[in-house]
């Protein structure tokens, strides 16, 4: 029994069996319900009728993830002017997200996915140093809940500007 429990715990911690392909442009975005830094759960359906920038990132408080979050925060008013919501997801806990938002002055939603379910549903699981976590991928979801654009292995320094530029073009089409 101990061996079985250990194997189950190891697989859950390391996200075994979570590899899936990314949803493609035109497909329905996989729904999710995850705890937020503020406490209550958040679902994709909560944003029906709005554009959603769903970005996955590896870890709170790391240099690349902090830079990416700062850039989304810097551009937050521009996203709001485009009727878009920014939602970040990582395998960190809701408490870690709360601390990250407080320390870095972030005013958009960060969602916790420690079981890697939503991360896997979006084909965004990667392994680093023997642990599975979110890859730096983003999905732009249109107001009808369909994938409008997919960004893989993004550069955190310029990514927000890239998404914002595409969002403006897509809203006009």
Show which residues are catalytic: 65
Pairing between β-strand 131-134 and β-strand 125-128 as defined by DSSP bridges: antiparallel
β-pair type (84-90, 109-112): parallel
Q: At what angle do helices 63-74 and 94-104 cross, to 10 degrees?
A: 60
Residues 6+ apart with CB under 8 A from 41: 33, 34, 35
Distances (CA, A) of 21 to 16, 18, 173: 15, 10, 27
Cβ neighbours, 10 Å, residue 93 = 15
Contact present, 98 and 64 (Cβ < 8 Å): no
């Amino acid at each position: 029994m101990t061996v079985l429990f250990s194997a189950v715990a190891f697989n859950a911690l390391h996200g075994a069996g979570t590899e899936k392909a990314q949803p493609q442009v035109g497909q329905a975005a996989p729904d999710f319900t995850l705890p937020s830094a503020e406490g209550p759960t958040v679902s994709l359906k909560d944003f029906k009728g709005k554009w959603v920038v769903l970005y996955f990132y590896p870890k709170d408080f790391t240099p690349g993830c902090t830079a990416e979050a700062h850039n989304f925060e810097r551009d937050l008013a521009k996203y709001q002017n485009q009727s878009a919501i920014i939602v970040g997801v990582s395998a960190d806990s809701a408490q870690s997200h709360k601390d990250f938002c407080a320390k870095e002055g972030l005013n958009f939603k960060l969602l916790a996915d420690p079981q890697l379910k939503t991360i896997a549903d979006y084909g965004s699981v990667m392994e680093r140093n023997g642990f599975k976590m979110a890859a730096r991928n983003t999905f732009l979801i249109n107001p009808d809940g369909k994938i409008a654009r997919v960004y893989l292995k993004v550069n955190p320094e310029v990514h927000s500007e890239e998404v914002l530029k595409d969002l403006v073009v897509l809203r006009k089409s």
